[in-house]
Amino acid sequence: MRIDILTGLPDLFKGPLDQSIIQRARERELVEIYLHNLRDYSTDKHRSIDDYAFGGGAGMVMSIEPIDRAISHLTGQRHYDEILYTAPEGEKYHQKMANYFSTLQNIIILCGHYKGVDQRVREHLITREISIGDYVMTGGELAAAVIVDTTVRLLPGVINDETSALTDSFQDDLLAPPVYTRPAEYKGWKVPDVLRSGNFHEIEKWREQQSLERTRKHRPDLLGDSDHPGASGESTP
């Protein structure tokens, strides 16, 4: 998989892309991630990538020219399955979207900044707009890092125990069940007996029930009316 990130602040990615699972995935050549400084595509003598908005108003707007030049340069070399733009107005990001992105070969992520980008970028160059939440950040770089992290960890071979990613919260629209590790008792606080029983059938039933109960308590919006057994209040068999 290849991910190209277009940004005016490439240094913001030094931490998230050079540590832990993402770093290992890059070292194993399971993913290629390239940062492109939009200022390198500016024809302005000051390498600026923003300008005042037509019609006036506070804040600057990212210019269309450097963005178009950068995207045209990349798409002239290969096909891209998606060209994403991080924006507060975009689709709310969720696990199924990450699952989908992980099946693609090539993605471009354009990081929003200032008051956003020239509307013509959104109308003619972008295939999908993504928001990671109902709030506004200084720029889209951290949102892009979230998209990269949640996507790359799903690629085959990235996580040593690949079943781990399949049991994460939201994979089946349920929150993950509680987890415990040693010691089995600490300050009188005990691990549930079923998890120490060795009865894997009962353990799975317990985990399913805990996932449902946790989701009903913390994120009932994920259940809908009839998406899951027990969604209306009854216990799972």
- Say whether both 103 and 195 belong to one domain: no
The CATH number of whichever domain residue 39 belongs to comes to 3.40.1280.10
pLDDT of residue 167: 54
Interatomic CA distance for residues 121 and 124, integer angstroms? 5
The CATH number of whichever domain residue 188 belongs to comes to 1.10.1270.20
Q: Which amino acid is at 5?
A: I
Q: How many domains does the chain have?
A: 2
pLDDT tens readout for residues 57-66: 888 999 999 9
Domain C-terminal end among 94, 126, 152: 152
Record the pTM: 0.83
pLDDT tens readout for residues 97-107: 999 999 999 99
Residues of the chain with pLDDT under 70: 160-172, 225-237
Domain assignment of residue 218, given as a range: 167-222
- Say whether both 81 and 129 belong to one domain: yes
Asked, for residue 65, whether it belongs to a domain, the answer is: yes
Residue 59: exposure state from Cβ atoms within 10 A (0-12, 13-18, ≥19): exposed
Q: Which two tokens stand for residue 132?
A: 């990671």
Question: Is the Cα dihedral 200, 205, 206, 211 positive or negative?
Answer: positive
